[in-house]
Chains A and B, each alone.
Chain A
Amino acid sequence: MSGLKTRFPRYAKLLLLYPTAYRKRYENELLQTTADMLDHANGQLERLGIWAQLIFDLPVNVVRQQLSYAGGIMTQTMPHYIKRSSLVSAALLLPFFAALVGNALGTIITGRNLYHSWVWSAPILTTWILLFPLAALFVAGISYAVYIVRNAPQRSLYKKVFDVVNSWPLLLSGLAACSILLVFVFHDSVQCWSRGPITHFHAAMQCTASNSVNPVDAVKRAF
């Protein structure tokens, strides 16, 4: 089979783009089939057409195989508690995105936003903009901590923390929750919260709900 690699050295190098497991299984056959195609071609023009087909065929299938292998590894070896926690965490973030989408649709369809509706009223607003994202962050954080503790003990902490192959859904939902909370802090509410977020929580939420401060001004005030 090394003869085929010698015959098509550049094509053989391009095959290195495939996932290793796939390449080990199919590299020889890919080269053999390529050789068969070229051997049966009638004339230079047909051979040129075959090379064009090979070049266009390669990137699409490299991407498909890379995604397939990555997806396979992630779903097959991912512990169940990570899948469950990720789902719970994502579900807790859904109301936030649903509220934003609902607000955008309301603005587009009726020309009115939901700022004065029950969705933006204090107790509900507190729930979807703060409590649920906090809960999502908590669930993702606890599960990630469990993942790090349960990870192979002989590995370094650095490797455990950044072993994202099996933990990416948790990281994703955790980062989404963090982003929501950061947006919340730096949004209209910042001026309300700067008055005392702990002692005047309800008042701060009411203030946030009735507030319509320009986000740029809010950031300026924050700093």
Chain B
Amino acid sequence: MRSKNLLPQLSFSILLALSLKPRHGYEIMQQVKEDSQNKISIGPGSLYTAIKQLSDERLIEEVPETHNRRKYYQLTDKGKKRLAVELDYFKMSVQLAERRNVFESFGGTA
């Protein structure tokens, strides 16, 4: 199913944050924080390190012509496919954990 390693948590969270619409840096940070229920709080240094890596891998790209001093980022087609693969993997993992009653056994929530 998977030909590549899993993305780092932060990179995955950024792709997820950009899945709804293009966002600029601060919006991405806020969305990541919200999506993770305040568990992931990143600084600008970490954010742009991850953004650079994702841009280099062509998973995200800058939105051209935003008429705004902020740069907006959006998923590329490759990024959308990669996110789908990551989500499939997590979905499969959750289903597997449910079948094995891992959530009940270890006190997690399904």
Binding site for B on A (CB under 8 A): 1, 22, 25-26, 29-30, 32-34, 36-37, 40, 53-54, 56-58, 60-62, 64-65
Contact = CB atoms under 8 A, between A and B. Distances in A.
B103 to A, nearest CB: 33
21 contacts: A1-B69, A22-B52, A25-B52, A26-B51, A29-B48, A29-B70, A33-B25, A33-B26, A33-B44, A33-B47, A34-B44, A36-B25, A53-B41, A53-B43, A54-B43, A54-B44, A54-B45, A57-B43, A60-B46, A61-B43, A65-B52
A30 B25 CA distance: 8
Contact of B46 (A34, A36, A40, A57): A57
A29 B29 contact: no
A36 B71 CA distance: 13
Nearest to A62: B45
B32 to A, nearest CB: 12
Given A22-B52, A26-B52, A33 B29 contact: yes
Interface of B: 24-26, 29, 41-49, 51-52, 69-71
A192 B97 CA distance: 68
A11 B41 CA distance: 20
A37 B29 CA distance: 9
B15 to A, nearest CB: 18
A57 B69 contact: no
Contacts of A60: 45-46
A108 to B, nearest CB: 35
B25 A58 contact: no
B25 A29 contact: yes
Of A32, A33, A40, A60, which is in contact with the most chain B CB atoms at under 10 Å from its CB?
A33
Contacts of B51: 26
A54 B42 CA distance: 9
B49 A29 contact: no
